[in-house]
Amino acid sequence: MIDSFIIAFSTYSRIPMPKADWNEKSMKYAMSFFPMVGIVIAVIELFIWWTAMNIQTYNMITAFFLMLAPIAVTGGIHLDGLFDTEDALHSYGDREKKLSILKDPHIGAFAVIYGVMYILGGYSLATEMDIEALLSVCFGFVISRELSGLSVVCFPKAKKDGMVSSFSESADSKVKNVLLAELAVTVICMFSVFIYGKIELVYPAVTLAAAAVSFFRYRYRIVPEFGGTTGDLCGYFLCNCEFLILFANILIIKILEMRVFP
């Protein structure tokens, strides 16, 4: 299990890890530890907020570091999937052409356009953050990875080779059950924190709703276009899921402000 933990963090983060034995047994449960990368990101985000509040940093600077943290921890691996998938989707070609674009290491115009929109949009939303929304978004980092892990284990695969296929072939039904259990625990903890803290429950509610919308769009709109999922598509989903969670929480902030100050 230790090797599985190391493999998950070595693959999906830039956090230095010792060497692990990459065999079928160790890869079997690696996806179960994927959500823990989200926990690390969440802790760093909360630390950034706590530091900013203590030194009274301007909100725009705080927003920059809040956007930087997930990219720094993951090394941008999921952004790479977002960029490649946007290029493929906007090629409007057949399935084989889209899959070939995913393999192409070069970046296209649509990757740049949508990548810049994603980063600037996320940064702009982050400038409106408050602690209630941040707590909700932090749980979103974990939920997005639990759903992404489920897609790796459960969804059909577009290719027989690649990282997703390797993890999926090694995993079994126990991994699916572990990820579902982790998702249930995360949701319970999220609502418990807000109930205990006497914070508006609309924050965790919209986080869960945004994650669900992203997941079902991914499963029934994006995956069929490619004949299955791939590593790039998983990254595309994760980025879009986290963006929609952020957007939903900032929208709630503005709605609540309007209610308090008509």
CB 17 within 8 A of CB 6: yes
pLDDT score of 248: 97
Residues constituting the chain: 262
pLDDT score of 166: 61
pLDDT score of 161: 64
Identity (one letter) of the amino acid at 172?
D
Give the mean pLDDT of 35-46. Answer: 97
Q: What percent of the chain has pLDDT over 70?
A: 94
CB 228 within 8 A of CB 186: no
CB 132 within 8 A of CB 199: yes
Phi, psi of 100 (to 5 degrees): -70, -35
pLDDT score of 85: 94
Q: Which two tokens stand for residue 108?
A: 């296209």
The pTM is what?
0.93
Q: What band does 156 get if pLDDT is binned at 50, 70 and 90?
A: confident
pLDDT score of 105: 84
CB 145 within 8 A of CB 37: yes
Contacting residues for 254 by C-beta, under 8 A, at least 6 apart? 128
Ranges 24-28, 85-89, 179-183: which has the least confidence: 24-28
pLDDT score of 84: 93
Q: What percent of the chain has pLDDT over 90?
A: 66
**pLDDT: is 25 or 129 the higher one?**
129
